[in-house]
Amino acid sequence: MQTYNAPLRDMKFVLNELHDFSKLTSIPAFSGVDADLVETVLEEAAKFTTRVLLPLNPVGDTEGCRLENGVVHTPTGFKEAYKQFCDGGWSSVSAPPEYGGQGLPESVGMLISEMICSTNLSFGLYPGLTAGAMTALRKYGSDELKSFYLPKMIDGTWSASMCLTEAQCGTDLGLVRTKAVPQGDDSYAVTGSKIFISAGEHDLTENIIHLVLARLPDAPEGIKGISLFLVPKFLPNEDGSLGARNPVVCTALEHKMGIKGSATCQISFDEAKGWLVGAPHKGMQAMFAMMNAERLGVGIQGLGITEVSYQSAVSYAKERLQGRALSGPKYPKLAADPIIVHPDVRRMLMTMRVNAEGCRALGTWVANALDIAEHTEDKAQRRDAEDFVALLTPVVKAMFTDMGSESANLAVQTYGGHGYIHDHGVEQFARDARITMIYEGTNGVQALDLVGRKLPAHMGRSLRGLFHPIADFVAEHKEHPLFSKMIEGLERALGALQLSTAHVAQKGMADPEEAGAAATDYLRLMGLVSLAYLWARTVTIAVSKLGAAEGPDKAFYTAKLSSARFFYDRILPESAALYLKIKSGKKSLMELPEDLF
Amino acid sequence: MQTYNAPLRDMKFVLNELHDFSKLTSIPAFSGVDADLVETVLEEAAKFTTRVLLPLNPVGDTEGCRLENGVVHTPTGFKEAYKQFCDGGWSSVSAPPEYGGQGLPESVGMLISEMICSTNLSFGLYPGLTAGAMTALRKYGSDELKSFYLPKMIDGTWSASMCLTEAQCGTDLGLVRTKAVPQGDDSYAVTGSKIFISAGEHDLTENIIHLVLARLPDAPEGIKGISLFLVPKFLPNEDGSLGARNPVVCTALEHKMGIKGSATCQISFDEAKGWLVGAPHKGMQAMFAMMNAERLGVGIQGLGITEVSYQSAVSYAKERLQGRALSGPKYPKLAADPIIVHPDVRRMLMTMRVNAEGCRALGTWVANALDIAEHTEDKAQRRDAEDFVALLTPVVKAMFTDMGSESANLAVQTYGGHGYIHDHGVEQFARDARITMIYEGTNGVQALDLVGRKLPAHMGRSLRGLFHPIADFVAEHKEHPLFSKMIEGLERALGALQLSTAHVAQKGMADPEEAGAAATDYLRLMGLVSLAYLWARTVTIAVSKLGAAEGPDKAFYTAKLSSARFFYDRILPESAALYLKIKSGKKSLMELPEDLF
């Protein structure tokens, strides 16, 4: 069974104890926000997602979407749920107040997103795409476009899609063929075909605002000739009411492995009216603005799937009676022991648990930095925060989704044969999770982004924002009798990461294929070291609080120590293998001639 | 696109060059078999599987099976393909000649199975289940049952199913509730409900022979009270024609994540007439006979999926144009380079390739031992071979299927968004492969079987059959200037395995949970060391042959060197992490109290 209770206690922990939420609330933009308000918001989000979205998750998977006469019908209940979503204010949580948003930090928005992704990833894609499009529009749209479109996107009346991919291009958007021809006024006629468009057409909102990559007639070839256009499904009148239908048509729905409740559309533009967003030929810039927001968002999808996989597996492992504990019957009165008594089942459960807790801790760290980057008035602080977000974005996207897919598959494995059967709903997690490793840039592309763009940027400046706090922490706690063994492990992993960084920088400078050959393993190593640091900090916090803690708090901190131990014993050792793989270089990947494959 | 060309050259290599096929043909049972005959058989199997089974693979996935009025309809084309399968003699390849089989070695049968699983895993399950049931019947059935049933199972006229699992029990068959009541003659009335029964009902054969686990009225509780029964769908007359319909009914088809062309049935027995196979209450013995054969078979399914995933990904990576090589355009005349130029894409392709080649080498080694165990007249040789098969069976089952699932997912990843779409057929591989890690004993159960049963058996005698050849090989090649670095890697990995073995043996003796905590990582480590040994041997063979080799042979051996390098550079390093995880013991798995999960 798909089982979910929002992990509110852990969310409070990462916001307030592991990271310093008060640092955020000292920023004027968040002056009205405090921990109590956030707690209330999260509790309400927990209720909404668990009561409304979770029951619709298997419905969406079983029914899928239907295309009839150009109209896409979402699964039963999605439309009503979307209305409740908007009425409850969930579409506007961290949107800017000047356009009607509630202006809560992204750190809070991220945790709400996590709940949405745990309970109904397919549903979450509809508002998720709108949020990504809003980022691009806010950063690059004209004031006119912003003041006209953003309020209705923020209150959820209108939704958005991102129309990038075409049949011949996904990763390489320089190959985009869609055309935009100026119409003499400030508008353009957009013509072309797009595929894989999430939320490209549906029945949840009265209008859909497409952000479309296309080429102007005078565009240079390749990636430097791409511009971004806003193309509404219905052309709005000046008062915001809907005017003529723009020739933007859903020609087909993709048949996918999962996220079946999400409408993934082929969209055809036939001289559709649109407006330029940002400067001509600078569409990739705007695209990356929304893409980066989306990449963090996709990482959080991985976290959401991890959490619900964990909880669903735990509930089964406690119920399913099969065999006896290796150490002798634990429940002699039952026909058999529940399978949670088995070390190998616990290995799977702990992996999911520690994946979820670790990703939540790291995701919140990055979301905090994002809030600082967007709202602080301190320039140096902003620069550091921007660096940090840029560096960690590919790590969050790729590692979290790898772990999401791993966790969903571990949930299936915990259920055994019953996990392979549709009825229990866990195989849906595995199918849904699978796309997160692919869209918004495959995880391989994330790794290339990390080693090719993020590492060399500003002469490695951003790395210091990650390495320094870890090195400082190591120095501070190295001699502590309680922590020394753990710190040793952290120091070793950090050392491996630093050596790997030097390898990538040196070898990669002379031969970019060397950087490419290291990329995926390097990204994972950076992710593991970041997690190791956060787990070490978690341990010091838990130890300091355990003395005075009672009841559920005591249990919480005790469990944190076990999670941390598991991470250090069973997950961090991977870093030894990663380092060896990175060091081995490109030869074994590149030497086989193409025709011998 | 699902792409497949049977890897005949590599099959010849593992049979004749890596392993010594002539050692098999010196056994009287195989006196009529030679390398030329085998080559012809494999070529014919390649034609049949590629031409007949491969095109039906997506058909089975899309259509699935239908249950109407108790009749299960297999997908379009399966019935005709099954007829061709039998007419071509593919059902009887390695079946015993005394019952009409062709008596070819299992080593050959395994390679044919690999082709079947590459081209159509769902189809392969129908004859696959028959083969497993025949093993049990041959070993434990009375002469009367054998001479009556085996010939028709071998020629494919009748098929079989294995009815073990019930809703409340899968891993723990001691919980079986199905009953068998003696009828005064030599028959029994079998009553109960079974689930997850592959090929339990279908329209491919005129009769289905169910092997059913059930309890006799006087059965002791638990696993020691289980007996095995043969229950035909139609009660045959003495002349083999079909008589009365036995009350064995398919009540539902399971809705599964994959293998949709395979009918997975819920089967209800209502006082169905059956006959005892083997001694009363000794059903588990017979069950394990078929289970062990099935476990090797499932491992080969993993290999089959790995190979077809690799080939399908390669064909896409050579075609799909996206971006440019990091070292500068490789195909400047094309709009972009094919993605195979990218190191990270090659990392995925090489992983699949090396998984396939390695598993084929190891699978053939085990199949050779199986042939020796079954047919040699030399007692000591037989004992050693039996030991070896018993030890490696869980490794083959679990590691091959882990690699199959990994490879299928890498194929999806290579395709990017197109991999997530049904039309290309690679997401089917990922869904199909997922069950192989679960059925016939989850991979966690395999690992427990290895550390709990196989390691301690005969005081560790069987380990010597694996460790000694590796240690001898290391000693022999250690000083060789060409191989010393590779041998160092092999020696280090073997050392890690030996230390891990000591850990499991010592800690596990005092506390079986310690063995359980190490099990999965230990199994993987043993698998990797076995592969490392076979890759090292492959290198020595390739080097010795390269001097005189020309044309395709030269390319073949050159590619082998690249594959081996990839294994040592990029896969074997995992063993370092595995050793650390194993050594960390059970604490981090077991300390968290059940109620804190």
Annotate A294-332 with DSSP letters as a single string: HHHHHHHHHHHHHHHHHHHHHHHHHH-B-S--TTS-SST
- Non-local (6+) Cβ contacts of A223 within 8 A are A172, A173, A174, A284
Q: Measured between CB atoms, which of B348, B421, B434 is closest to A420?
A: B434
Residue B423 contacts A where some CB pair is shorter than 8 Å = yes
pLDDT band of B460, cuts 50, 70, 90: confident
How much of chain B exceeds pLDDT 70, in percent? 100
Distance of alpha carbon A430 from alpha carbon B256, whole angstroms: 13
Chain B residues closer than 8 Å to A452 by CB: 326
Largest CA distance in chain A: 83
Identify whether the C-beta of residue B590 lies closer than 8 Å to the C-beta of residue A346.
Answer: yes
| Residue found by looking up tokens 């990091």 in the block | B326
Q: Searching chain A, which residue's CA lies closest to the CA of residue B425?
A: A257
pLDDT 10s digit of each residue in chain A, 597 long? 999 999 999 999 999 999 998 889 899 999 999 999 999 999 999 999 999 999 999 999 999 999 999 899 999 999 999 999 999 999 999 999 999 999 999 999 999 999 999 999 999 999 999 999 999 999 999 999 999 999 999 999 999 999 999 999 999 999 999 999 999 999 999 999 999 999 999 999 999 999 999 999 999 999 999 999 999 999 999 999 999 999 999 999 999 999 999 999 999 999 999 999 999 999 998 888 788 889 999 999 999 999 999 999 999 999 999 999 999 999 999 999 999 999 999 999 999 999 999 999 999 999 999 999 999 999 999 999 999 999 999 999 999 999 999 999 999 999 999 999 999 999 999 999 999 999 999 999 999 999 999 999 888 889 999 999 999 999 999 999 889 999 999 999 999 999 999 999 999 999 999 999 999 999 999 999 999 999 999 999 999 999 999 999 999 999 999 999 999 999 999 999 999 999 999 999 999 999 999
* 8 Å CB contact of B597 and A353: yes
Cα(B284)–Cα(A563) distance, integer angstroms: 39
Q: For residue A243, what is the enclosing H or E element?
A: strand A242-245
Pairing of strands A207-214, A158-163: parallel
Q: Do B517 and A353 touch (CB under 8 A)?
A: no
Which residues of A are tagged catalytic?
440
Distance of CA A195 to the CA centre of its chain: 21
The answer to whether the beta carbons of residues B286 and B136 sit under 8 Å apart is yes
Judged by a CB distance cut-off of 8 A, whether residue A257 touches chain B is: yes
Q: In Å, how far is B548's CA from the nearest CA of chain A?
A: 19
Residues 6+ apart with CB under 8 A from A511: A586, B327
Minimal C-alpha gap between B318 and chain A (Å) = 8
**pLDDT for the residue A459:** 82
Q: Which of residues 488-517 of A touch B (CB under 8 A)?
A: 511-513, 515-517
* Residue A232 C-alpha, separation from nearest chain B C-alpha, in angstroms: 25
Are B413 and A591 a contacting pair at CB < 8 A? no
Instruction: Give CA angle at A597 (A596, B4), nearest 5°.
Output: 120
Residue A395, pLDDT score:
98
Look at A255 and B421 and tell me if their CB atoms are within 8 Å: yes
Chain A residues within an 8 Å CB radius of B174: 323, 336
ipTM surpasses cut 0.95: yes
Chain A contact set for B200 (CB, 8 A): none
Whether residue B335 lies within 8 A of chain A, CB to CB, comes out as yes
Closest chain B C-alpha to A556 CA, distance in angstroms = 8
Answer whether A221 touches B (CB < 8 Å). Answer: no
Environment class of residue A180 by beta-carbon count within 10 Å: exposed (0-12), middle (13-18) or buried (19+)?
A: buried
Interatomic CA distance for residues A490 and A552, integer angstroms = 29
Asked whether residue B289 carries a pLDDT value surpassing 90, the answer given is: no
Check residue B291 and give its pLDDT. Answer: 83
Closest-CA distance of chain B to residue A457, Å = 17
Residue from B265, B187, B577 nearest A573 by CA:
B577
- CA distance to partner chain A, nearest, from residue B115 (Å): 19
**Contacts with A, B 165-194, CB within 8 Å:** 165, 168-172, 174-175
B440 is known as an active-site residue: yes
pLDDT band of B293, cuts 50, 70, 90: confident
Q: Which of A317, A513, A577 sits opposite B577 (nearest CB)?
A: A577
- Active site residue: B114, B440, B491, B514, which one? B440
pLDDT score for B190: 98
Q: How many CB pairs under 8 A join A and B?
A: 275
Q: Is A35 on the interface with B (CB under 8 A)?
A: no
Residue type, B245: R
Which tokens is A384 given?
Answer: 């550091």
Average pLDDT rounded to a whole number, residues B96-125? 97
Inspect the interface and report whether the beta carbons of A347 and B323 lie closer than 8 Å: no
Instruction: Name the DSSP class of B92.
Output: S
A256, A347, A349 member nearest B422 (Cβ): A256
Angle formed by the axes of helices B512-546 and B461-477, to 10°?
A: 40
Query: Which tokens sit at B465?
Result: 């059959």
Q: Where are the alpha helices (DSSP H) in A320-378?
A: 343-375
In the block, residue with structure tokens 């083999």: B240
Q: Which of B344, B412, B528 to mutate to test the interface with A (most CBs of A within 10 A)?
A: B344
B320 lies within 8 A of chain A by CB: no
For B:298-317, CB contacts with A below 8 A are 314, 317
Ramachandran assignment for A258, one of left (phi > 0), alpha (psi -120 to 50 degrees), beta (any other): beta
- Answer yes or no: is pLDDT of B64 > 90: yes
The pLDDT, as a whole number, for residue A291 is 83
Average model confidence (pLDDT) across chain B = 96
User: Within an 8 Å CB–CB cutoff, is residue B438 touching chain A?
Assistant: yes
Structure tokens at B257: 């994540």
Is residue B76 less than 8 Å (CB to CB) from chain A?
no
Compare CB distances from A340 to B165, B511, B594 and report the shortest one's residue. Answer: B594
**B413 in contact with chain A, both atoms CB, cutoff 8 A:** yes
Average pLDDT for B209-238: 97
What are the φ/ψ torsions at residue B421 (nearest 5 degrees)? Answer: -90, 140
User: What per-residue confidence (pLDDT) applies to B552?
Assistant: 96
| Four-residue CA torsion sign, B560, B434, A444, A466 | negative
User: Crossing angle, helix B484-510 and helix B574-583, to 10 degrees?
Assistant: 20
Q: How far is A592 from chain B (nearest CA, A)?
A: 6
Do A465 and A388 meet the contact criterion of CB atoms below 8 Å apart?
yes
Q: Nearest 5°: phi and psi at B253?
A: -100, 140
Contact A486, A564 (CB under 8 A): yes
Residues 6+ apart with CB under 8 A from A201: A67, A70, A71, A72, A208, A233, A250, A263, A265, A267
What is the rounded CA–CA span in Å between residue B164 and residue B181?
A: 18
What's the helix, strand, coil split of chain A in %, to 5?
65, 15, 25
Interchain contact A63–B (C-beta under 8 A): no
Half-sphere CA count of A176, side-chain side, radius 13 A? 32
Contacts of B257 in chain A (CB under 8 A): 412, 420-422, 427, 430-431
Of the partner residues B171, B258, B344, the one whose CB lies closest to the CB of residue A323: B171
Q: What is the mean pLDDT of residues B394-411?
A: 98
For the purposes of burial, counting CB atoms within 10 Å of the CB of A190, is it exposed (0-12), middle (13-18) or buried (19 or more)?
buried
Give the end-to-end CA distance of chain A in Å, rounded to a whole number.
43
Of A322, A346, A580, the CB nearest to B590: A346
User: Cβ contact (<8 Å) for A421 and B256?
Assistant: yes
